[in-house]
Amino acid sequence: MAKPSTSGGKNRKKGSKGGTAVASRSSASGGSSRSQDGMGEAFIKLLQSPLVADLVAVAATAALAALAEHGFTSGGEGARGKRAGKAVKEAGKAAAAAVGRRLGTELDEIRKAAKGGAKA
């Protein structure tokens, strides 16, 4: 049988109850830490960009439309569960397709702007 920890709970891992994640960084990895901070900030800026907000809105609208189109009626309990699963699957497909179309449109606009800028 394993001995209980005598550390007083100071170095608990992320999955344990009530504990916090402990990250250790050595002084030799200072450059790596700064690049990770920069990547984190860049990721946050990306999430805050208007394009990402637009993509989320497009995906949500398409998913909601697919769910509304599929419709729900009161029927047997077993059939209802299968219908709900099918509706969610279709909503996910619709959202992915809508995001794909929107990204394609954005990329086309970027390509057109790049060609126009090179001619000028």
pLDDT of residue 20: 46
Q: What are phi and psi of 104, to 5 degrees?
A: -60, -40
Segment 98-115 shows an average pLDDT of: 93
- CA pair distance 42, 30, nearest whole angstrom: 19
Is residue 99 within 8 Å of 56, Cβ to Cβ? no
pLDDT of residue 11: 47
Is residue 25 within 8 Å of 33, Cβ to Cβ? yes
pLDDT of residue 34: 73
Express each pLDDT in 66-88 by its tens digit: 988 887 555 555 666 777 888 89
- CA pair distance 97, 23, nearest whole angstrom: 39
- CA pair distance 14, 25, nearest whole angstrom: 16
95 class by beta-carbon count within 10 Å (0-12 exposed, 13-18 middle, 19+ buried): buried
Q: How confident is the model at residue 46 (pLDDT cuts 50, 70, 90)?
A: confident
Express each pLDDT in 19-45 by its tens digit: 444 454 444 445 566 777 888 898 888
In the predicted structure, residue 65 carries a pLDDT above the cut 60: yes
pLDDT of residue 104: 94
Q: How confident is the model at residue 95 (pLDDT cuts 50, 70, 90)?
A: very high
Report percent pLDDT > 70 for the chain: 62
